[in-house]
Amino acid sequence: MEVSVIGSSSQAKICTSWSELSSYREIRFCNFQKRVSLLHNTKSTRWRNSGLSFTLNAVQSSPVRSDRRRRPGSSSKPKSLDGVRVFVGLPLDAVSDCNTVNHARAIAAGLRALKLLGIDGVELPVWWGIVEKESMGKYDWSGYLVLAEMIQNAGLKLHVSLCFHGSKQPKIPLPEWVSQIGDSEPSIYHADRSGNHYRECLSLAVDEVPVLNGKTPVQVYQEFCESFKSSFSHFFGSTITGVTVGLGPDGELRYPSHRQLASHSNILGVGEFQCYDKNMLNLLKVKAEATGNPLWGLGGPHDAPSYDQFPNSNHFFKDNGGSWDSPYGDFFLSWYSSELLSHGDRLLSLASTSFGDTSVTVHGKIPLMHSWYKTRSHPSELTAGFYNTVSRDGYEAVAEMFARNSCKMILPGMDLSDKHQPQESLSSPESILAQIRTVCRKHGVEISGQNSVVSKAPHGFEQIKKNISGESAVDLFTYQRMGADFFSPEHFPSFTHFIRNLNQLGMFSDDLPEEEEVVESVLLNSESNTHMQAA
C-alpha cells in the first residue's frame, strides 16, 4: 500500500492506492481532506501516539491506538440490527493463481477498518482453479491459510465460498488439468444453440459421468471439500462459521443463460437455453422417448429468442399463445428445470455430508432473475432453469431441496428496488424476492442476503436496510465487495454511515467508533514499520 502525504503542518492531504495489483484503480479519500486536516491540527497527540513520523524519504507507522474511553459495562462489540450479522466480501482475487496473498497490506488495513465499524466478519472466495490447479488431488491451500490467519488475528469471523467455477473478470480459470480435458472434449461444458461452449463451469449433465480422468465431478468436488475441512479444521467454529458450496456460474444455482452484456441500453435480454452439449442432449432424448414423444428430444425450442433479444422477438415467450404455454413447452421446461434441481440436490447433499460433523452452516446461492418478471412467461427465469411463470411457482421445489439438505439459501439483489429498474425491462426484483421469501418461510429455510454490486446511490443502502430488517430480517447479510470501488470516496463514507445506522440501535452512542478512527485505520497500514513514500 502506498500513501502520499502532501502539505504542511496546517494542512494534510492523504491518498491511498492498492498499488500491489494493477487491476485495482487508485483509491483516494480526498473527500476526507478536511477531516484529515482536522486530525492533523487538533489531534496531533493521537498522530504522535500512533507512531507516525515524517522523514525526507519515508513515513513509518505503528498500529493505530484509540484514546477513547468506553462507558463502564458497555460491550466493545456492536450489536447488529435485529440480530443480523454483517459480513463484507473480500476481493475475488485476494489469492493469486500462484497461491500468494494479493495486496496483503491493503487487505490488512481494510480488515482493521471493518473491525472498527463493527462488521462481524468477511466472506472469502476459495477457487478450485487455484487450489487444485496443476493436477487432480494435488491441493495447495497456502495462500488461503495465510488469509484465514489474518482474519482470525483481526478478530473477525470468516465465511468461505467454495468456487467450482471460473471468473472472467478477474481472470480465474478452472484447474489447468480440467481445462486440458475440456480442450479435447468440450462436451464437458454447457453449449448454446450455436454450439458455443461456456468454459467457466462444467455442464451439470456430467455430474455423475467419469469425465475427469476416471472420476466424476461430484467425486472431485467431494474430495476437494474433504481436503478443505482437514486443512482448515482448526479454524472451524472459532473463525470459520459458514461454507457456501458453488452450484454453477458465479456460484449460483442456474444455467449460464446470460453470457454477454445487453445491447439494448441497460435492459437484459431473455438469455438462451443451455441444453446443446452432447450430454444434455442425451438426457433430453431419453426423457422425450420415455414420454412417447421422441421428436421433442431432438433439441431445445426452435422458436426461442437469442441472448439479448426481448420476449416478443420470437414466438416461444409471447404472453399469449407462446410455445411455453403448450404441451411441448411444459415438457421441455419441466425437464430443463428438473435437471438443474437434481444438480443442486447433489451438491447440497455433498456439502451437508462433508460438513455435517462440524459447527459450520452450509449455504447455497440462487440468482434473482428479475428481468421480465412482469410478463406471463418470465423468460429470464426459464432460460436460467427456474420453471416459474404466471401460473406456476417454480421456487417451491427449490425451497424443498434446501430444506431437505438442511442448508441456508443466499439471495442476492437486496439493494434492488422496482422503481430504479428500466420500465421497458418489465422487471420486479421486489416481487420475485417476496415470492422466494414466501416459499422459504413455508419450508423453514433460512435466508441470507447479498447486494448485487457496490452501491454508490443512497437508495441502495435504504433498500438493503428494508430487505434485511423487520419482518424481512435475515440471519446474515454479506456486502459485496472489498476493493477499489468499496474504498472509493464516492462509496466508503456512505457505507460507514449505513453500518453506523445499523449498529446504533444496539449500542450506546459512545460505543460507536469515531469516523476519524475508521479513516485512520484505512489510511494507515496497521502493520508496524511499514514504509510509505512521501512526496
Query: From residue 188, how far is each of 180, 181, 278, 360 by CA, in Å?
Result: 11, 8, 8, 32
DSSP for 13-33? EEEEE-TTSTTSPPP--GGGH
Grid coordinates representing 198? 461456456
What percent of the chain has a predicted confidence (pLDDT) above 70? 77
Given a cut of 90, whether residue 458 has pLDDT beyond it is: no
How confident is the model at residue 55, as a pLDDT? Answer: 26
Question: Domain with 184 in it: what CATH number?
Answer: 3.20.20.80
Would residue 78 count as lying in a domain?
no
Residue in 369, 187, 374 with CA at minimum distance from that of residue 282: 187
**Terminal Cα distance for the chain, rounded:** 15
CA distance 361 to 85: 14
Would residue 77 count as lying in a domain?
no
Given a cut of 60, whether residue 202 has pLDDT beyond it is: yes
The domain total for the chain is 1
How confident is the model at residue 516, as a pLDDT? Answer: 53
CA distance 515 to 207: 50
Q: The domain containing residue 197 runs over which residues?
A: 85-258+347-370+389-509
Question: In this predicted model, what pLDDT tens digit does every residue of 111-125 receive, in sequence order?
Answer: 999 999 999 999 999
Would residue 415 count as lying in a domain?
yes
How confident is the model at residue 260, as a pLDDT? Answer: 59
Question: In this predicted model, what pLDDT tens digit does every residue of 467-485 receive, in sequence order?
Answer: 998 788 898 999 999 988 8
Hey, which residues does 121 pair with through a beta bridge?
87, 157
How confident is the model at residue 510, as a pLDDT? Answer: 46
Query: Which of helix, strand or coil describes residue 207?
Result: coil
CA distance 421 to 463: 13
What pTM value is reported for the model? 0.83
- With DSSP H G I counted as helix, E B as strand and the rest as coil, what are the percentages for the chain, rounded to 5? 40, 15, 45
Would residue 15 count as lying in a domain?
no
The 8-class DSSP code of residue 252 comes to B
DSSP for 132-187? T-SSTT----HHHHHHHHHHHHTT-EEEEEEE-S-BTTTTB-S-HHHHHHHHH-GG
Would residue 278 count as lying in a domain?
no
CA distance 316 to 313: 9
Would residue 458 count as lying in a domain?
yes
What percent of the chain has a predicted confidence (pLDDT) above 90? 70
Would residue 67 count as lying in a domain?
no
Rama region for 73: left / alpha / beta (φ>0; ψ in -120 to 50; rest):
left
How confident is the model at residue 479, as a pLDDT? Answer: 97
Question: In this predicted model, what pLDDT tens digit does every residue of 158-171 receive, in sequence order?
Answer: 999 999 999 999 99
Would residue 149 count as lying in a domain?
yes
Cβ-count burial of 446 within 10 angstroms (0-12 exposed, 13-18 middle, 19+ buried)? middle
* Confidence band of 368 (pLDDT split at 50, 70, 90): very high
> Which amino acid does the sequence have at 31?
N
User: Pairing between strand 121-127 and 85-89?
Assistant: parallel
How confident is the model at residue 71, as a pLDDT? Answer: 34
